[in-house]
Every structure is written in C-alpha cells, then in structure tokens.
C-alpha cells in the first residue's frame, strides 16, 4: 500500500474514533451541550372555546415561569383548527417542518388522531394530547404518546351529586312546584362526542341513584356553545314555561347560555336551577351571582402545568413523570 493511502486511512480512522468518542461522551453527559430553547407546537380544536382558552392562558403562564426558573427560552406556537380536522392535520405537518420539539394536541376529531400520529412518528416528535382523548387503539400505537384530561364520568357524577345533596337537604329546592317530580331539560355537547355522552349518562344516573325523582322534558345539542344553548333554552321556555325546574348542562358555557335566555324572559335568577361542568372563570362568577346553582371545577393550573411539564420532559429527553394518562383532579363548586 502506498504511503499516501496509509495516511488517508489513518486520518479517517482517527476521525471515526473521535466521532465515536464524542457520541459516547454526549450520551454519558461528557460533552453534552445544554439545550437553551424549546419549541412546542400547540394545536387547538377551537380557539374560541372558553375552557380551551383558559387552558391556553395557563399553559402560557407555566411557560413564562419555566423560562424564569431555568433560563431556557420557550416558544409556544399555537394554531387554531377552527373545528376542521384537515386543517389540524396540515397544522401538525407545519409544526413538524418548523422543528417543534414536541406537539400538544387538542384533537378536532378524537377518532382521527392516527393522521397526526403518523406524521409525528415518522419525524420522532412526541405528542401530548389533551382535553379530547384519542381512542385507545391510537394511544397504544407508540410509547411517546401521552394524554392529559379530566375523567368525564367523575365530572358527571360530581355534577349530579350537587343536585342529590340539595334534594336530600330540601326537596323543594329542585321540586319547585311540589308535584314530587323534578322536571328537567338537557343541554348536551357535540353529537357522539365521548365526553358529552358520558357526562349526560352519568349525571342522570347519579340523580337516579341518589333518589331524586326526575322527568325529562326535552333536550338538545348545543355543541358546547353559549349562543346555541341560549337559543334552545329560549325556545324551551316558550314551549314549556314554568314546567322547567332544572337545566342539566354538559359544560358551563351552555349553562351560561341558558341563563342568558332565562334573564331575557324576565325570570328571576335561581328560580330554575342550572348546573354545569368546567368551573370556568365566567361560570364561577355566575355561581357567585346566583345564576348557576353549581359547577364542577378541574384546576386549570394543575391541568395546564401537567401538559407543559410532560411536553418539557419529552422535549428535554428527561424521564416522563406521568403515566400514559393523567387525570386532573376535580371538585364541586356549590353552596
């Protein structure tokens, strides 16, 4: 072999050995450079949803506190899908192209998470889903998928318990006309949405199990929205008048919409009992004003911080401290 070729081989071998040593040192912490910034893609199903907006604000606050404590710069790149799953898929692709370290995804369609997961897996980008839980088959596809949310059954049971406790204390609180039956109307979230179905089923089941004699007058889908709920309630007040004693709502925004209609009808606040779920700031204010009989709150700070902390742990290559699913604690707000 010529001397020149030997020299080239020697240089190449040295480079390879040096590269291997550097990689080893990086894995063992020897020469690892500290990560100084995080980019987190946050994909929302609908940015104008009150509860989601509250979570977003709390996540932004958690990011600011983390920056202050660690000196690591955090970019939360928030995108609103406006209820369009195809839009959200495109937004996920864009976030990955921009080099996001992790995605936090509030699915438009919980049954369509596979499209987002496929893109993330291909680029090895972890995902923290929140609020709208993907189906189990999708969640089990990869070890880098996590979910943060509230237990819909627990929310509903607590909502029902507000009314059971009130009825046991004084039946006339709910049975305003004293006929031995509490007549109610029901405001539901989205059609076939898991949380909506579970909240409806278990709030009613809790009332029955608690010995509250109930009779459904009517119900309708208001898609979690205040305006839609208000329109439905206005029609029901026209159709059924004083027969309505209770309004069961899958969330606070719909309870507030029903309250708006009751106020427009000139009915004194609190005459018809309204209960919701979420414990939003507006919902809690309405409770203090006597417009809502009660609500169920999940701590937004705990909720949002868990989303952020899991995202940060994944992005920084740390051991993730939560299990695959994290259920945020909830509590009753009622008198």
Tell me the per-residue pLDDT of 33-78, one tens digit each, with 9 for 90 and over. Answer: 678 999 999 999 999 999 999 999 999 999 999 999 999 999 999 9
Query: Which pLDDT score, from 0 to 100, does residue 192 have?
Result: 80
Q: Looking at residue 11, what is its pLDDT?
A: 36
Residue 209 to residue 195: CA distance in whole angstroms? 20
Task: Pick the range with the lowest mean pLDDT from 5-19, 46-60, 91-105, 215-229.
Answer: 5-19
Are the beta carbons of 35 and 72 closer than 8 angstroms?
A: yes
pLDDT for residue 166 is more than 80: yes
**CB neighbours (10 Å) of residue 299?**
16
Report pTM.
0.86
Residue 326 vs residue 31, higher pLDDT: 326
| 255-269 average pLDDT score | 98
Q: In the prediction, which pLDDT does 33 show? A: 64
pLDDT at 91: 98
**Dihedral sign of CA atoms 179, 182, 187, 193 in order:** negative
Beta bridge partners, 43, equal: 79, 105
Residues 258-292, buried b or exposed e (16+ Cβ, 10 A)? Answer: bbbbbeeeebeeeebbbbbbbbbebbbebbeeebb
Tell me what pLDDT residue 35 has: 85
Residue 126, φ and ψ in degrees, nearest 5: -65, 160
The predicted-structure confidence for 118-143, as pLDDT tens digits, reads as follows: 999 999 999 999 999 999 999 999 99
> In the predicted model, is pLDDT for residue 9 greater than 70?
no
What is the tens place of the pLDDT at every residue in 187-227? 999 988 889 999 999 999 999 999 999 999 999 999 999 99
Three-state SS at 134? coil
pLDDT for 289-307, tens place per residue? 999 999 999 988 999 999 9
**Mean pLDDT of the 24-30 span:** 38
| Four-residue CA torsion sign, 335, 242, 205, 188 | negative
Identify the pLDDT of residue 34: 75
Q: How many CB atoms lie within 10 A of CB 323?
A: 9
Instruction: Give residue 24's pLDDT.
Output: 31
Buried b (16+ CB within 10 A) or exposed e, 129-166: bbbbbbeeebbeeeebbbbbbbbbbbbbbbbbbbbbeb
Residue 18 confidence (pLDDT) above 50: no
What's residue 254's pLDDT? 98
The candidate with the shortest Cα–Cα distance to 250, out of 179, 201, 316, 199, is 199
């Amino acid at each position: 072999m010529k001397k020149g070729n030997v020299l080239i081989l020697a240089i190449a071998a040295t480079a390879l050995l040096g590269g291997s040593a550097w990689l080893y040192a990086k894995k063992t912490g020897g020469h690892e450079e500290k990560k100084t910034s995080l980019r987190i893609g946050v994909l929302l199903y609908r940015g104008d949803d009150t509860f989601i907006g509250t979570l977003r604000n709390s996540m932004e606050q958690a990011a600011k506190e983390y920056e202050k404590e660690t000196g690591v710069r955090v970019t939360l790149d928030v995108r609103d899908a406006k209820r369009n799953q195809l839009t959200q898929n495109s937004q996920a692709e864009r976030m990955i192209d921009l080099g996001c370290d992790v995605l936090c995804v509030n699915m438009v369609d919980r049954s369509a998470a596979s499209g987002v997961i496929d893109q993330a897996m291909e680029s090895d980008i972890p995902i923290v889903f929140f609020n709208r839980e993907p189906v189990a088959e999708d969640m089990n596809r990869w070890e880098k998928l996590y979910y943060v949310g509230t237990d819909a059954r627990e929310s509903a049971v607590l909502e029902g318990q507000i009314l059971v406790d009130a009825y046991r204390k004084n039946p006339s609180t709910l049975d305003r006309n004293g006929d031995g039956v509490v007549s109610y109307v029901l405001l539901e979230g989205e059609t076939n949405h898991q949380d909506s179905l579970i909240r409806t089923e278990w709030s009613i089941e809790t009332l029955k199990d608690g010995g509250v004699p109930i009779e459904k007058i009517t119900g309708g889908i208001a898609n979690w929205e205040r305006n839609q709920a208000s329109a439905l309630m206005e029609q029901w007040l026209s159709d059924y008048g004083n027969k309505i004693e209770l309004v069961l709502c899958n969330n606070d925004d719909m309870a507030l919409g029903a309250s708006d209609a009751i106020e427009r009808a000139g009915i004194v606040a609190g005459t018809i009992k309204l209960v919701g779920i979420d414990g939003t700031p507006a919902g809690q204010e309405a409770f203090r004003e006597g417009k809502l009989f009660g609500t169920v709150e999940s701590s937004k700070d705990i909720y949002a911080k868990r989303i952020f902390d899991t995202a940060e742990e994944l992005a920084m290559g740390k051991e993730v401290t939560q299990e695959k699913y994290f259920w945020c604690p909830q509590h009753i707000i009622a008198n």
